[in-house]
Amino acid sequence: MSGRPKIFDDQEVLNKAADVFWRQGYEATSTEDLLEAMGIGKGSFYLAFKGGKKELYEKALALRSDQAMAQFRKELDAADDPVEYIREFFRRIAHSTRAKHQNGCIFGNAVAELSNIENPMMKRAATHLQGLEGLFLDALLRGKQEGTLHSKMEPALLARLLLNNWNGLGITRRIYPDNEALSELIEIQLKILG
Amino acid sequence: MSGRPKIFDDQEVLNKAADVFWRQGYEATSTEDLLEAMGIGKGSFYLAFKGGKKELYEKALALRSDQAMAQFRKELDAADDPVEYIREFFRRIAHSTRAKHQNGCIFGNAVAELSNIENPMMKRAATHLQGLEGLFLDALLRGKQEGTLHSKMEPALLARLLLNNWNGLGITRRIYPDNEALSELIEIQLKILG
DNA sequence: TCTATTTTGTACCAAATAGTACAAAATAAT
DNA sequence: ATTATTTTGTACTATTTGGTACAAAATAGA
């Protein structure tokens, strides 16, 4: 190895870029915005991400997905009661700052914004959300086996329902960015888990 | 009155513009896209809508809101059972084309896209959705009075829940644009109405 | 120290875009 | 027919944008 050393770390700048995309969405974010947030110049950027903004978005989303899934998996595996863990997962939403509420869910945002203008990228975001649904299902199946899930509903359908609740909250929390109100809503929703 | 006659009707072009915005969102839609869809030239456009794209978006959204609310109100008032009408309202989602599924809810889309980049406009879209919640509530209160709503839940909270389900479906229907799957999901959700 | 290699910063470019200016067109009223 | 009025179509402009080119900088290894 030789050559001039890089002044940035790929993961780090991807995370910074992800924050900007999360806040502003894909179209409203200019490469200029991204360069500023990442703290690097055009030369470095286009060398590292030849696909430009699009490649950056895909990688930023994939990174966030990996991080979120890994954390969920880890916490779920460590949880005594997987169903209770799902409850905690949703209750966390009602402990956010207003700024976070306004951002919604980065994957839901991607699905909403890109379904008709960048279908391949939308599909990848959709896959991330299906991954979340899969984790819900894992938790529910384990809950069923261990006896903490009493619902008579089919777990797969219940997982789908939870995904829809999650997707809804990504919008609703922006309309009502109030933790008290959100908490009430979430508790009602969780009643379906029995 | 005198002067050269207009070659277009404001309502008509607003509806055409609304379709484009619905499909593509705000940022991804160029004025060129809009002019083409509306079938008018720049001269006419900027004379009628001095605020340009932004004014057009606001008016298009307001028009769609008025139309949707008026239809809901009319059908609700004509319904024998208001709670059953809500059921029908949700069931309709599962009778859409794939193209419609991909568009989601125009107001939810606006909230998702604009919350951090055009806050005043996002708030107006949020108000439209709160209007829908208000109609849900009206229906539920009437159902309670007439004895067709048996749920012990507070109607206001139930209305909020229905709004969240609606918001969620605006995303979920794009991930699963399959009427069978959506139907299953919707039926489960409606169980909460008793 | 010299060379090969990689990254960086900047200058530059071509395309797209929103918006304006204004003359021509089309009407109603006198 | 003439005038006043309003709309239309187009030519033009200024700005923003994503992206490229390339020389200078900074390293590792010989």
pLDDT at B2: 81
Q: Which residues contact A62 (CB under 8 A, 6 or more apart)?
A: A124
Considering CB atoms only, which of A112, A157, A176 is closest to B109? A112
Task: Write the DSSP symbol of residue B3.
Answer: S
Among the listed residues A170, A129, A82, A47, the one whose alpha carbon sits nearest the alpha carbon of residue B112 = A170
Question: A-chain residues within 8 Å CB-CB of B190?
Answer: none
Looking at chain A, the whole-number percentage of residues with pLDDT higher than 90 is 98
Q: Confirm if A142 and A82 have CB atoms less than 8 A apart.
A: yes
pLDDT at A194: 84
Q: Which two tokens stand for residue A188?
A: 């009602």
> Nearest residue to D25, CA vs C1'?
A4
User: Residue B118: how many CB atoms within 10 A of its CB?
Assistant: 19
Residues B90, B166, B136, B22, CA torsion sign = negative
Residue A109 (CA) to nucleotide D15 (C1'), in angstroms, measures 29
Q: Confirm if A107 and A122 have CB atoms less than 8 A apart.
A: no
pTM over 0.85: yes
> Nearest residue to C16, CA vs C1'?
B30
pLDDT at B1: 64
B126 touching A (Cβ < 8 Å):
yes
Q: Report residue B20's pLDDT band, with 50, 70 and 90 as the boundaries.
A: very high
User: Residue B145: how many CB atoms within 10 A of its CB?
Assistant: 10
pLDDT at A1: 64
Tell me what the mean pLDDT of segment B156-165 comes to: 98
Q: Do B108 and A164 touch (CB under 8 A)?
A: no
Name the strand (E) or helix (H) holding B73: helix B52-78
Q: Which two tokens stand for residue B8?
A: 């277009």
